[in-house]
A = this chain, B = another copy of it.
Amino acid sequence: MKLYTRTGDAGETGLYGGERLGKDHPRVQAYGEVDEASSQIGFARSLLPQAHEELDAHLATIQNALFDLGADLATRAGGPHEAKVRRMQEDDTALLEAWTDRYTEEGPPFTGFVLPGGHPAAAALQVARAVVRRAERRVVALARAEDVNPEVLCFLNRLSDLLFAMARWLNAREGVSEPLWQPRPSSPNS
């Protein structure tokens, strides 16, 4: 079987359930950015030192959940295949919160903005954090136009905080120091 189907060459594509819409439709934009976020998380994982097995397992669980989240976005409420899809739930976000608390407690205290970077895997997690926030913005735009499961927004909002905590935890474990933003003196004329 061929991977490509050529059916999307004119710029239209299908939701789960078969409905056709433009590839620039806010719904496709939203799950497309989620796909990029998951890919960026996968890239961060590929740079993780072997010692951090538990962090790696958490990130794998997140990637899996992002597919559930993608299916949630790709499936309209009331659409034909809805019964096959698992919608995002409160306990998905609760899990992220529990992990965030743990990485925060075990990590360095927050005393201001940190310059994103450090160990390559931590730096890649910071990129993933920013991409998750971009995905969140796209979902907000979609929610302005159409129904979206509100748990999708909770999950993405919490995920970017978790990725921030993970990046800082990882740098601390790897002995990499994170310089803080040094705001320069404010403008005289403002």
In the complex, the count of this chain's copies comes to 3
Q: Which residues of B contact A11 (CB under 8 A)?
A: 139-140, 143-144, 153
Q: A140-160: which residues lie under 8 A (CB-CB) from chain B? A: 140-141, 143-144, 150, 153-154, 157-158
Q: A9-B150, A47-B120, A71-B183 are in contact. Are A82 and B190 (CB under 8 A)?
A: yes
For the complex, give the distance between the alpha carbons of A36 and B124 in Å: 11
Assess the A179–B60 pair: CB atoms within 8 A. Answer: yes
Q: How far is the CB of A47 from chain B (nearest CB, A)?
A: 6
The reply to whether B126 and A43 contact each other, CB–CB distance below 8 Å, is: yes
Query: Is the Cβ of B83 less than 8 Å from the Cβ of A190?
Result: yes
Compute how far the CA of A161 lies from the CA of B2 in the bound complex, rounded to whole angstroms: 10
Q: In the complex, A60→B45 CA distance in Å? A: 24
List of B residues within 8 angstroms of A64 by Cβ? 115, 181-182
Verify B137–A39 contact, CB threshold 8 A.
no
A161-181 near B? 1/0 per residue, CB < 8 Å: 100110000000000000101
* Contacting pair A3 B116 (CB below 8 A): no
Contacts of A154 in B (CB 8 A): 6, 9
Partner among B97, B123, B186 whose Cβ is within 8 Å of the Cβ of A46: B123
Query: B-facing mask of A88-129, CB < 8 A → 1, else 0?
Result: 010000000100110010000010010111111011101101
Q: Is the CB of B9 within 8 A of A86?
A: no
